[in-house]
Amino acid sequence: MVVVDYYSRYYEYGILKSTTADKVIDCLEEVFSRHGLPCTIRSDCGPQFMSTQFQQFCETNGIQHVKTTPRWAQANGEVERQNASILKRIRIAQAEGLDWRKELRKYVAMYRAIDHNTTGKSPAELLFNRKIRGKLPDFTMPRNDQEIRDRDAEQKGKNKLYADHRRGAKYSQLEVGDQVLADDMMKEQIFLCSACKTLIAMVKNMIPAHATPVQIKGILEYFCGKMWLLRDYFAKQDAAEYRPDCPANILRSEP
């Protein structure tokens, strides 16, 4: 689980074996015990965040809960970007036969101490108002806070214009009370559950009994990317919460 401060880009992470509301709240309480309670939390529409227990947690602590558009990961882009970086670091550590937990701690420590391209300052400096020492030498010049906010707003504006132009985005004419068509997400989840089972069966069938270790490794590497795609989808949609028998539970388990 990743918690990102949108102003400083400083983030905390927690290693969870379950994404239930209880586990998520425990992780957030640990983060808040170090940094204090935020004014706002932005999250996707996963069942753990939509639960009554999580809503009561936010109300008790005076936190406004903002939910992103369903099935639109770009609405919480900073978190998705950090998720991709963390998963990449974990895969590299596993490929090199290293302890991925230790390598992840090294990566996060380095990230927090290095200046960000947009703000010009390190996430730790913006959050704590002081620099933290890393292995790299520091040659940056001091900048005021307003300059950082201006650069941040300018970069986000450029990214929005580029994304809107690329997707052909237009202003919505919908108003409150208009009737709209809603997609049946459960059908897609059931379909993907079947696709997941089919993919696992294909992997088993493609490994012959007389296959050499090199051949087995090649087959697994070929399907590895597809497995991670399914895992990422189920992690976002939390389809396994609706279908406990889905093989995605295997993919969602701790690496």
Q: Model confidence over 160-200: pLDDT tens digits?
A: 888 888 888 888 888 888 888 776 665 555 555 555 666 66
Is residue 86 a part of any domain in this protein?
yes
Do residues 199 and 129 share a domain?
A: no
Q: Is the same domain home to 66 and 160?
A: yes
What is each CA distance from 224 to 88, 91, 244, in whole angstroms?
A: 13, 11, 23
**Has residue 203 got a pLDDT over 70?**
no
Question: Looking at the structure, do residues 114 and 203 belong to the same domain, yes or no?
Answer: no
Instruction: Say whether both 199 and 156 belong to one domain.
Output: no
pLDDT value at residue 244: 44
Higher pLDDT, 43 or 245: 43
Residue 159 pLDDT > 70: yes
This prediction has a pTM of 0.54
Query: Are 103 and 220 part of one and the same domain?
Result: no
Q: What is the pLDDT of residues 4-35, one digit of tens each?
A: 888 888 989 888 888 899 999 999 999 999 99
- 223 shares its domain with 158: no
Residue 118 domain-assigned? yes
Residue 248 pLDDT level (bands cut at 50, 70, 90): very low
**Overall average pLDDT of the 228-242 stretch:** 47
Q: Are residues 120 and 198 in the same domain?
A: no
Range of the domain at 17: 2-136+146-165
Does residue 176 form part of some domain?
Answer: no
The answer on 212 and 131 residing in a single domain is no
Mean pLDDT of the chain: 77
Same domain, 57 and 125: yes
pLDDT reading at 54 higher than 60 = yes
Is 54 part of a structural domain of the chain? Answer: yes
Confidence at residue 55, expressed as pLDDT on a 0 to 100 scale? 93
Q: Cβ distance 237 to 229 under 8 Å? A: no
Q: Report the percentage of the chain scoring pLDDT > 70.
A: 69
What proportions of the chain, in percent to the nearest 5, are helix, strand and coil?
A: 60, 5, 35
pLDDT band at 251 (very low <50, low <70, confident <90, very high): very low
Domain CATH for 22: 3.30.420.10
User: Structurally, how many domains does the chain consist of?
Assistant: 2
| Sign (positive or negative) of CA dihedral 167, 231, 29, 145 | negative
Q: Are residues 108 and 215 in the same domain?
A: no
- Do 152 and 200 share a domain, yes or no? no
Q: Is residue 171 part of a domain?
A: no
Q: Which of 21-30, 63-72, 117-126, 204-213 has the highest mean pLDDT?
A: 21-30
185, part of any domain: no
Q: Is the predicted pLDDT of residue 117 greater than 90, yes or no?
A: no
Burial 37-52 (b: 16+ CB within 10 A, else e): ebeebbbbbbebbebe
Examine residue 110 and state whether it is found in any structural domain, yes or no.
yes
The reply to whether 217 falls in a domain is yes
| Residues 155 and 200 grouped into a single domain | no
